[in-house]
Amino acid sequence: MRTIGVLTSGGDAPGMNAAIRAVVRAGIYNGMKVMGIERGYNGLINGHIKEMELSSVADIIHRGGTVLKTARCEEFKTEEGRKKAINVLKVFGIEGLVVIGGDGSFAGAQKLSEAGIKTIGIPGTIDNDLAYTDYTIGFYTAVNTVLDAIGKIRDTSASHDRANIVEVMGRHCGDIALYAGLAGGAESVILPEEEYNIDEICKKLIQGKNRGKLHSIIMLAEGLGNAFEIGKKIEEVTNIETKVTVLGHIQRGGNPTAFDRILASRMGARAVELLMDGASGRVVGIRANQLIDMDIHEALLIEKKFDKEISELTKMLSI
Ligand code: ATP
């Protein structure tokens, strides 16, 4: 293989740059030309492609976001759109492609692979919603960002004897709320994977207050109802002033943690190795700290299991 391409697709995640750097440097190290495709499948269809040099990825391992930019592309979901993309790949002589993104991006990569383009996926999403891998690139950085916010919220909440609902990202996967809840010592965590009981949450807040607790944190995964309405309800029942903080997009930004940089570097290099071995339609993951790779289709079929152990531990430690 003489020329490979790399793109980032879907939502951005801290550590994507470290993954791009690894793909570019591992590719060049192994004597290949590496082309950077801008704005995901959008840039692929429109030929927004440039050759990456060693220096193109200098000074980016520590930066959040993605120097290749990312986008969502409806056209790529159509047969016609993909035909255009495949033609562009041929014109640029790109024989293998590394796609850094989430499950949607992987579904696209699989279609390219079925059409004969050698394609490898790297999991880049803060949500940690890909079941085949223990961790996705960006997840732990997002959890750290949430922890940083919790620390600041605690300072102000303690000064006012308040409770605080902290709404975090994650869509159908509550991992950010759960892990940040455990690490941040949250009093309650509201997740999509578990029924929650508002009366129980209120009882805990009242008991905590009676014990002299100065403040309380309730983690809320997004999409589980209106945080402000939940806050109002809690305030009515407990008589504890309850503020709401919706963290939003700050969770996507920031310098990647050491864990994410190392994960991204390992995965990027493995993706290049797989392409050199002639593999296609596979995704790279990590299980028990060992890199793995598996068929994209099979990987996407695995259902995400809720981490009951972490959830039970969080509850036990927040009594
Ligand atoms: P995130 O988890 O951060 O949202 P993602 O990769 O899941 O990342 P999506 O918006 O679902 O993000 O997908 C990114 C892009 O992948 C889409 O805009 C589209 O171009 C392509 N894609 C998604 N699903 C398919 C599909 N079924 N077939 C072909 N391409 C797809």
Element (H, E) at 3: strand 3-8
Q: Say whether both 171 and 265 belong to one domain.
A: no
Counting as low any pLDDT under 50, the low residues of the chain are none
Q: Which atom number of ligand 1 is nearest to the Cα of residue 129?
A: 2
| Predicted pLDDT of residue 306 | 92
Q: Which of the residues 12, 127, 175, 260 is marked catalytic?
A: 127
Which residue lies with its CA nearest to atom 30 of ligand 1? 108
In a domain, 227, yes or no: yes
Strand pairing category for 118-123 and 96-101: parallel
Residue 33, token pair as written in the block: 């030309």
pLDDT at residue 159, as a whole number: 81
| pLDDT score of 39 | 97
Name the pTM for this structure. Answer: 0.96
pLDDT value of residue 257: 98
SS3 category, 295: strand
The reply to whether 219 and 268 lie within a common domain is no
Last residue within a domain, chosen from 252, 279, 312: 252
Q: How many domains does the chain have?
A: 2
Task: Please count the other Cβ atoms lying within 10 Å of the Cβ belonging to residue 139.
Answer: 31
Judge whether 113 lies within some domain.
yes
Contact at 8 Å (CB) between 126 and 154? no
Which residues form ligand 1's pocket by a CB distance below 6 Å? 9-11, 41, 72-73, 76-77, 101-105, 107-108, 111, 125, 127
Structural domain boundaries enclosing 214: 140-252
Q: Give the separation between CA 257 and CA 232, rounded to whole angstroms.
A: 35
User: What is the predicted pLDDT for the residue at 264?
Assistant: 98
Please check whether residue 158 lies inside any domain of the structure.
Answer: yes
- The pair of structure tokens assigned to 211 is 């014990």
> pLDDT at position 87, please?
97
Active-site residue flag, 127: yes
Residue indicated by tokens 């099979």: 298
Domain assignment present for residue 317? The answer is no
pLDDT value for 158 = 78
Tell me how far apart the alpha carbons of residues 191 and 129 are, in angstroms, rounded to a whole number: 13
Among residues 73, 129, 112, which one has the least CA distance to residue 121? 112
What is the rounded CA–CA span in Å between residue 108 and residue 97? 12
Summarised one tens digit per residue, pLDDT across range 254-274 is 999 999 999 999 999 999 999
- Together in a domain, 126 and 23: yes
186 and 56 in one domain? no
228 within a domain of the structure (yes/no): yes
